[in-house]
Amino acid sequence: MVGPIYIIAIALGTAFSLGFFKKANSNFSFAFMLFAMAFMTFISGQWLYAFLTQQQETIQIFTAGFKPPFSISLQMGLHESVFLSLINIIGLLAAIYLYDQFREKGVQMMMVFVLLFMGLNVVIMTRDIFNLFVFLEIASIATAGLIILDKSINATSAGFKYIIATAIISGILLIGIIAIYYFAGSLFINDIIKLNLIYVKGGAVAVFLVLIAIILELKPFPANGWALDVYEAAHPGIGAIISAASASAGIFVLAKILPIVGDSGYYIIGLIGIITFLGSNLLGLKQDKANRLLGYSSIGQIGLLLTIIGLTPYLGDKTLFIAFGVLISHALAKAGLFWLAGIVNSEYIKGWAAIRRNPLLLVLMGTFIFALVGFPPFPSFFAKWELIMQLANNDKIIWLALILIGSFIEGIYLFRWFGYAIKEKNEDLPEFPIKLNKVIPVSIVAAGLYLIGYYTGLAIPEAAIINYIPLLFIVIIFALDFLPAYVKNSISIIGLAYYSYTIIPAYFENDMLRFIFVVIFLVGGILTFIAGYAYKGKRRGFYPVALIMYVGLVQIIQAENLLQFFFGWELMTAGSYFLIIRGKKSMAHALSYMLFSMGGAYLILAGFALAQQGQMSLSLDVLSSLSNNVFIIISLLMIGFLTKTATLGLHIWLPGAHGEAESDVSPMVSAILLKAGVFGLIILLTSTIKNIETVSIVYILGWLGAITALIGNLGAAFQEDAKRLLAYSSIGQLGYIVFGLAMMTHLGWLTAFTYTINHFMYKAILFLTIGAVVLRVGTHNMYEMGGLIKKMPFAFIAVLIGIIALAGVPPLSGFTGKWLLYNAVILKGWYFQGAIAFFAGIIAFLYLFKLISSIFLGQLKDNHRNVKEISIWFIIPIYILIIGLMIFAAKPELILQPMGDIIAQYFPDGRLNWDGGLATTPIGNWHGTHIMIIIGVMFMLLLTWLVVLSRKAQKVKQFNIVYSGERPFTPETTHISYNIFAGYNKALGFLVMPWITNFWNFMSDIIHDTAGFVRRIYSGNGQTYLAHIIIYIVVVYFVFFN
Amino acid sequence: MVKNSLIFIVLIGFAVLLADLFVGFNGNTDLNTLANHYAVSGPEEVGSANLVTAVVVTYRGLDTLGEVTILFLAAAIVSFLLKVEAGASLNRKLRSTSEILDTASRILVPVIFLFGIYVFINGHLSPGGGFQGGAIIASGLVLMLLAQPAKEVGHKLITLVESISGISFVLIGVAGVLFAAGFLDNKLLSLGKFGTIFSAGVIPIIYIFVGLKVGAELSGIITNLHENQNEA
Amino acid sequence: MENLNLEIITLITGVILVLIGIWGLLTQKNLIKIVIGFTLFDTGIHIIMVSIGYVKNRTAPIIDQSVNINDVGNSVVDPVPQALVLTAIVIGLGVTALMLTYVLKMYQKRKSLEINNYNDLKW
């Protein structure tokens, strides 16, 4: 193997020789430099390979022919090789990326570049503390040189701030090192460690100076203004190097000198880390410039790494895994984002809307954002999981909470930014050139993230059983994105059908509960995909993300352990986020959906972590054997799941998200997606049924459910937008489901299940139909529609059946649910809550009437004179669902009877008795088939009677009415159903005032204002930054050392 | 004023920190083990009469390589930043210098150069070495430029010296790996007779290259700064 | 004056230089003066380094007529800090050269040496 010393030799030799080519062919000098970088990568890579596969032992490299401490020695071990490989690969890619700059700026910058990486390499390998100082200086000076790559005034002044700040820091380091030499009589790190200088008077101060200098190199909040300016002003290609490569080396150095500090160092580092993580991310919130935002995020991530290092005593042998996962995600994703910044070339994050001119770049950006936030399947997801689990196991709840809060804040600005990229208007943004040498490095790091993520997952036994084949299928679909929509639609349907075929039968045999949900998810998925045939063109990006959601949903069902469940949950969140943001005005709604989902997911994560605490297992069964913190765990998990069911207080994301979504997406995210929350609740409640704490929690849950039903329905009644009406209606319906579950009785649960199935079917029918109508008429506003009954009879019938079912009027299955609900409430004795739920049911009539009357009845609008029936591709799934609805209405026992058996496992008392089709409770009975027949006969009789009666009626055409020469310009004022419930609004409107939205806005304002205030410490004055550094040293010294 | 008093308080805090650091310092009465090894075995192992040189060039040779690299980096960055873009000449206006300075410098500069070379060739025997010698050479250049501001110094020559001496330094280091016990091993050549010019293994050779390189680098920095100056 | 040994005097001098340097760095508004502040700070550190390697009543670590070749261990001061300070001085020189170059460039672009005039990047 090629010895590590050749890294130095090659780099220096190259840098020195480059001088020969000063004015000569710059392509040749570039190739020369690239070769050197490649060779350095090769050396480190082969050592990494040897350590991973051939049980290579750590080796020491002596220089000058003497052993340490007399000479400087280097060390090459597994950890060194990992870091070297990471840094050198980034260096190689960065060199390729910077090709144009190097060619333009000449040979000096190439020298500086190679030497920067040589410096970082030696910094990692060296075991001599003064040598460490020298090569840190090389790295700093080289960085200062690269900062001024474009020679602008801002870059130069940032470079000056950088160089003067690092000069002070290394001065401090030097004082520390010389003092350590005085106390230890050696500069060899291994010798120094043995001496425990921390217990020597003065020695402790010396060690402190070295430690604080290394920490300051890592840019702790708030003594990091100089670094932020650099990130903003330097070329993004350089920002990538500082953020990814230099910071990784810095972290390694900290780990290297940590043994000198001893155990007392952990606490300081942890505290500094968490302050940096929280502070930096908080200030990032107000940032609207892309490069500087990346700077804040970089510093935040390094803060998280410091925190992890500081928590080593609690993380034990997991520390390395966690730190590796976070670091690799940070390094690759941040390098990728900086590089993208150089391609997009937009100063402000709003300008990133330009990036979607190239879908590949947008996908890459999404990869990096999700990797940074810690979504599956990226390494950071598994690392974060382990981190949270270990913290819970060691009772470090405050640390756990702070880390989750910091991650959440980071998610806010990252997803806001990503939202701009996907949705902000981009018509007048400049186009940017796309060069292959820039795109390739970005693609490689993205691919690396997926690959390493997969292998990190394998390292955790609970994650190793995750089935990656569906994800592979998605990758294939993504690769086929250039095909027309109908082809991908067919492939997706086939995929889901095959998926259903492989897993559904087994659930039907063994697990009726999961069967119901998996049918809703997969069959629902297939049906909504059928509607996709109505779309022309390519529908870029739609199929992969929709499938991600479905795969995530199925993973939740299939999950055997908490990690798998969480994996599926996050996958589902990611997929649905993309689905939602596809809608026309969905940017803000998708962000709010993502924030509630992330908040919910973190609560679930915390709940899981506390639940598995002390149980030595991650199986889902741990939820049923909770012993400590039971109240907190159940509350955390419940709130987490309620974010997905959009229960009151956590519902504000839903109306916009569902209302603005595409026509076939609305049913996906409404009829299907919301059931994930229901499933979560069911898992939680069935597991904790015996815990005494559940009783009080479900009591609150019951009230929440009932009030949610009322508020949701009221909100729906006052909508003028058809899809928002349906969205509010979903909130109300989910309120019923939650209410039913909260009763914790046999009938209550049966109610909840009935509502779950019903809501799936009629909300899918209604959203599909209304969506299809919207596609035809081009507006969501009901007052701009009317009289469509003759144009779209199939749509009318579908909506009619949908609202009959939803209203709970016999004979359709909504009545089944309502009948069960009444029985359950009466038997449970929840009269007050029940009354609210009943009242909500009445309000449902209001909005349902409004829905059908304003769209289909009344006057046909002038511009709709030529609209056609809704697309056949919508009619097919709609009528399939209608058939299902009819069967469920006529033969409810087919499903409810086996369901009852399942529920009886948990609630054996108060069962519904079945006698053929006749259901009996202690207070009454009902027969689905009979009711269906009776109502059917009555309906036919009445219809015949009406037809006979109105045989002679004169048909009045619309234009029989005279407008007196006036043409109405405001459609809403001439539509009968506009503001039709104004009276109710006066009476009950206060209930639907946006109190809750205002509350969340208020919270958001407070956080943003704080960030805006605090970030003024970064005055831009280099001298102030220096003062920060000195003050930081003094303050940390007096806080920790006296 | 508030700001200055704050800074004053912070400085006092920093002073306390340094006081804590050195409060136990009372001078050394003896060498520590490491230094003692260098002092006692150094002459034998390395063959250099100047022990500091033995430490700088051999025992801690990698540091020295780093040091040279830092100067190289600084020179490269300065030359990059101050490069006068083609076509955009600075239109320099320079004051003429006095006759005395001019004449004196013509005599002194070669002597200074010679002295610099003497210092780095004898780096292993007497005080001095590559860095000191290089600095002396560069100071000669400063004198020259002060006396004759309009003089153009050949960048090509500087670069050539810089590169060749740098590469040679690295090659000597690598030769140590190949033919002796490690990178920058001194025993690549025989140690010779202690205390003579041709002794101490490769140290004199390395120091010649270091001297040339440092001289070239510093000269490069100075000429670059000089060419950007514009006295009116 | 018995306690005030040579090395203590130089050490204190070094520390004072460091403090003066920091004071200059934090209070001077002129970029050149800030750089001077840095060089004072740096020089202070170098003096501290040399003081730490001093051994009472001994000579420089160069074996010549004044040093008994058989008793080097008891007649010279510690060569290590001297070697280190050489390295540190060179590094300091490089850094100072860079600082001055950056200042020169900034001045060329904006014709000002006031550090307060370079606050464009902030928050």
Label residue A633 exposed, middle or buried (CB < 10 Å: 0-12, 13-18, 19+).
Answer: buried
Q: Is the pLDDT of residue A712 over 60?
A: yes
Q: Is C119 on the interface with A (CB under 8 A)?
A: yes
pLDDT at A884: 94
DSSP string covering A580-615, please? Answer: HHTSTT-HHHHHHHHHHHHHHHHHHHHHHHHHHTTT
Tell me the domains of chain C and their CATH numbers: 6-58+75-116 (1.10.287.3510)
Q: State how far the Cα of A56 lies from the Cα of A82, in Å rounded to an integer.
A: 14
Q: Does C9 touch chain B (CB under 8 A)?
A: no
The distance of A157 to chain C (nearest Cα, Å) reads 7
- Min Cα distance B191 → chain A (Å) is 14
CA distance A926 to A386: 52
Q: What is the pLDDT of residues A878-931, one digit of tens each?
A: 999 999 999 999 999 999 999 999 999 999 988 888 888 899 988 888 888 888
Record: contact C86-B27, CB cut-off 8 A:
no
Peptide bond into A236 cis (omega under 30): no
Contacts of A938 (CB under 8 A, 6+ apart): none
Using DSSP's 3-state secondary structure scheme, residue A98 falls into: coil
Cα dihedral value A75, A79, A82, A87, nearest 10:
-70
**Average pLDDT of chain A, as a whole number:** 91
Rounded Cα distance, A707 and A833, in Å: 8
A958-993 core/surface letters (b: 16 or more CB in 10 A; e: else): eeeeeeeeeeeeebeebbebbebbeeeeeebeeebe
A266 near A319, Cβ under 8 Å?
no
Q: Cβ distance C6 to C58 under 8 Å?
A: no
* Closest C-alpha to B229, from A359, A975, A621, C100: C100
Tokens of C41: 């700070």
State how far the Cα of A996 lies from the Cα of A417, in Å rounded to an integer.
Answer: 25
Count CB pairs under 8 A between chains B and C: 149
What letters, b where the CB count within 10 A reaches 16 and e where it falls short, cover B55-87? bbbbbbbbbbbbbbbbbbbbbbbbbbbbbeeee
DSSP run (H or E) holding A76: strand A73-76
Chain B CB within 8 Å of residue A22 CB:
yes
Instruction: With beta carbons under 8 A apart, name residues in chain A contacting B221.
Output: none
Report whether pLDDT(A279) > 60: yes
Pick from C18, C34, C87: CB nearest A134: C87
Closest CB from A167, A181, A1030 relative to C26: A1030
Give the pLDDT confidence score for residue A965 in this predicted structure. 53
The per-residue pLDDT for B232 is 43
Report the distance separating Cα A95 and Cα A32, nearest Å: 11
pTM: 0.94
Chains contacting A (3 or more CB pairs within 8 Å): B, C
Residues on chain C touching A154 (C-beta within 8 angstroms): 120-121
Q: What is the mean pLDDT of chain B?
A: 85
Q: Element (H or E) spanning A159, and its range?
A: helix A153-184
Residues from chain B that touch C22, judged by Cβ atoms under 8 A, are 11, 14
Amino acid at A363: V
In chain C, residues with a C-beta closer than 8 Å to the C-beta of A171 are 18, 41-42, 45
pLDDT at B146: 84
Angstrom distance (rounded) from CA B173 to CA B168: 9
**How much is the pLDDT for A138?**
96
Given CB atoms, is A63 within the 8 Å cutoff of chain B? yes
A713/A840 Cα distance (integer angstroms) = 6
Q: What is the pLDDT of residues C1-19, one digit of tens each?
A: 455 688 889 999 999 999 9
Convert the pLDDT of each residue in B32-70 to its tens digit.
888 888 888 888 888 888 888 888 888 898 999 999 999
| CA distances (Å), origin A962, targets A31, A771, A788, A958 | 82, 33, 21, 9
Does A105 touch chain B if contact means CB atoms closer than 8 Å?
Answer: yes
- Checking if the pLDDT of A247 tops 70, the result is yes
pLDDT attached to residue B226: 81
- Three-state SS sequence of A315-344: HHHHHHHHHHHHHHHHHHHHHHHHHHHHHH
Q: What percent of chain A has pLDDT over 90?
A: 74
Q: Determine which of A625-629, B226-230, C26-30 has the lowest per-residue pLDDT on average.
A: B226-230
- Is residue B73 within 8 angstroms of chain A, CB to CB? yes
Residue A915 DSSP one-character state: E
C17 CB near a chain A CB, below 8 Å?
A: no
Strands A73-76 and A59-62: what pairing?
antiparallel
In whole angstroms, how large is the CA radius of gyration of chain B?
A: 22
- Please tell me the distance from the alpha carbon of residue C47 to that of residue C41, in angstroms, as a whole number: 10
Cα gap A511→A519, rounded to integer Å: 12
CA distance A325 to A276: 19
Q: Which of B17, B83, B163 sits opposite A1034 (nearest CB)?
A: B17
What's the confidence (pLDDT) of residue A960?
56
Q: Over 90: is that where the pLDDT of A864 sits?
A: no
What backbone phi and psi angles, to 5 degrees, belong to C114?
Answer: -80, 125
Pairing type for strands A913-915 and A918-921 reads antiparallel
Dihedral of CA atoms A529, A535, A537, A538 in degrees, nearest 10, equals: -20
pLDDT of residue A1042: 63
Per-residue pLDDT of A916-933, as tens digits, reads: 889 998 888 888 888 889
C-alpha span between B41 and A1013 (Å, rounded): 62
pLDDT beyond 90 at A256: yes
Would you call C88 an interface residue with chain A, using a CB distance cutoff of 8 Å?
yes
Residue A641 is predicted with a pLDDT of 96
How far apart CA B51 and CA A130 sit, in angstroms, is 18
Q: Residues, chain C, total?
A: 123
**pLDDT tens digits along A172-216:** 999 999 999 999 989 999 999 998 888 888 889 999 999 999 999
The pLDDT of A780-796, averaged and rounded, is: 91
At residue A750, the pLDDT reads 94
DSSP state letters, A509-545: HH-HHHHHHHHHHHHHHHHHHHHGGG--S--TTHHHH
Q: Residues B228, C103: contact at Cβ < 8 Å?
A: no
- Cβ neighbours of C119 in A, within 8 Å: 1019-1021
What are B100-140's pLDDT values in tens digits? 888 888 899 999 999 999 998 888 888 888 899 999 999 99
Convert the pLDDT of each residue in B2-17 to its tens digit: 888 999 999 999 999 9
Q: How far is CA A697 from CA A140, A734, A751, A773, A906, in A?
A: 57, 18, 19, 42, 18
For every residue of A783-801, DSSP letters joined together read GG---TTTT-HHHHHHHHH
Taking 3-state DSSP, the helix, strand and coil percentages for chain A, each rounded to the nearest 5, stand at 80, 5, 20
* CB neighbour burial string for A225-251, b if at least 16 within 10 angstroms, e if fewer: bbbbbbbbbbbbbbbbbbbbbbbbbbb
Nearest residue in chain A measured CA to CA from C29 = A1023
Minimum distance, in Å, between the CA of residue C44 and any CA atom of chain A = 10
B40 neighbourhood in chain C, CB within 8 Å: 72-73
Residues contacting residue B168 through CB under 8 Å, at least 6 positions apart = B209
Q: What is the pLDDT of residues A333-362, one digit of tens each?
A: 999 999 999 999 889 999 999 998 888 999
Q: Strand pairing partners for A344?
A: none
Would you state the pLDDT for residue B91? Answer: 62
In degrees rounded to 5, what are phi and psi of residue A288? -115, 5
Q: What phi, psi does B159 have (nearest 5°)?
A: -60, -40
* Preceding amide of A811 cis, omega within 30: yes
What are A311-329's pLDDT values in tens digits?
999 998 999 999 999 999 9
Q: Is C118 on the interface with B (CB under 8 A)?
A: no
Q: Report, in angstroms and rounded to the nearest whole number, the Rg of chain C calculated over CA atoms.
A: 20
Per-residue pLDDT of A596-627, as tens digits, reads: 999 999 999 999 999 998 888 899 989 998 88
d(CA B73, CA B69): 6
- Strand A913-915: give its sheet, edge to edge: A913-915, A918-921, A924-927
The predicted pLDDT at position C1 comes to: 47
Residue with tokens 């958001």: A1004
For residue B31, give how far its alpha carbon lies from the nearest alpha carbon of chain C (Å): 6
Q: Read off the pLDDT band of A751 (50, 70, 90).
A: very high
Asked if residue A522 has pLDDT above 80, the reply is: yes
Q: What's the Cα-to-Cα distance from B231 to each of A515, B91, B202, B221, rounded to whole Å? A: 87, 11, 45, 19
Q: How many CA atoms lie within 13 A of B17 on its CB side?
A: 30
Helices (H), ranges, A285-318: 290-310, 312-315
Locate the domains of chain A by residue range. Answer: 1-127, 128-459, 460-942
Cβ–Cβ < 8 Å for A234, A146:
yes
What CA–CA distance (Å, rounded) separates A724 from A1003? Answer: 25
C40 vs A: CB within 8 A = no
Please name the residue ranges forming H helices in chain B: 2-22, 33-45, 51-53, 61-82, 99-121, 130-147, 155-179, 203-227
Identify whether A4 is preceded by a cis peptide bond (ω within 30 of 0). no
What confidence category does residue A631 fall into, taking pLDDT thresholds of 50, 70 and 90? very high
Token match 């043409």: residue?
A967
